[in-house]
A and B are shown apart, each in its own frame.
Chain A
């Protein structure tokens, strides 16, 4: 198997393309299966949107457990879609959430998370058109 799985820290925001998503793993793995790629994209957009709502609600309610578990779950999906710049934020949210304190820091991280996720969703939605 020669294809490369997504790496977490290889494409900082704004470098070269200005894009934050690198869908090369999905494209290399399922390049000719357009319907499958569209399904994966749709699943990702739907899941991330739901997770953002959950995490926003948890920050508002100062629910550290939900912040931790949602951040933990999101790490896997963003890495699959090659959104390496979001991973460190999620790791920090998970670690900060462990201490059951510092909601201010979590709120700031969540703000960054929402902003990057919006950009990622916009990019992926645009990318989807190439497979339709």
Chain B
């Protein structure tokens, strides 16, 4: 998959090893694409960055900084992300395969849900690949929509012009 414009991805996970390896894995898997990845250890730091940046995708851990009781969990951060940047796709990550967390994530606007298991990186890459295809399809649909609107406008102007000419010069089209 090739994209001309740069794709911006945020990784929000308090596990530095995981974030580091995931970032490198994404860069390797999508080596032919222009991808810019920022990592954040807390949801709060991610929200701060959202004030000035608009990532296309956020990979967000459900369990954020369990040692800090004041730290916001993944769902709170997801809510804020969708409030500030509703067009951003969010992939929610969690350590356990819990249907309630999955449902809650989707209900709050997550685009996908990945359980951290043996195959976690492959699953995240696959999810990113699908979201990139979705983004590409949406852009293509938008391009066609604009094209159809432009053609419709052109046809409308042509018909309008013809009618106007007929009104102003009734004999214009008479041979």
Contact = CB atoms under 8 A, between A and B. Distances in A.
Number of contact residues on B: which range applies?
20 to 34
A47 B67 CA distance: 14
Contacts of A26: 21
Interface stretch (A14-22, A32-40, A103-111, A112-120): A32-40
> Is chain A's interface secondary structure helix, strand, loop, or mixed overall?
helix
A80 interface: yes
Contacts of B24: 29-30, 33, 36, 40
Interface stretch (B52-60, B76-84, B113-121): B113-121
B41 to A, nearest CB: 11
B118 A1 contact: no
Interface string B92-121: 000100000000000000000000101111
A85 interface: no
A46 B20 CA distance: 13
Interface residues of A, number: 30
A80 B21 contact: yes
Contacts of B118: 5-8, 79
B17 A70 contact: no
B16 interface: yes
Contacts of B125: 1
Contact of A80 (B18, B63, B67, B122): B18
B67 A66 contact: yes
B170 interface: no
Contacts, number: 65
Interface in A45-89: 46-47, 54, 65-66, 68-70, 72-73, 75-77, 79-81
Contacts of B95: 72, 75-76
Interface string B16-38: 11101100110011000000000
B130 to A, nearest CB: 15
The 10 closest A-B pairs by CB, nearest first: A69-B66, A77-B17, A44-B17, A76-B18, A43-B16, A43-B20, A43-B17, A76-B15, A7-B118, A47-B16
Interface of B: 14-18, 20-21, 24-25, 28-29, 63, 66-67, 95, 116, 118-122, 125
Interface of A: 1, 5-8, 26, 29-30, 33, 36, 39-40, 43-44, 46-47, 54, 65-66, 68-70, 72-73, 75-77, 79-81
23 contacts: A1-B29, A1-B125, A5-B120, A5-B121, A8-B118, A26-B21, A40-B17, A40-B20, A40-B21, A43-B16, A43-B20, A47-B15, A47-B16, A47-B17, A54-B67, A65-B66, A66-B66, A66-B67, A72-B63, A73-B15, A75-B95, A80-B18, A81-B17
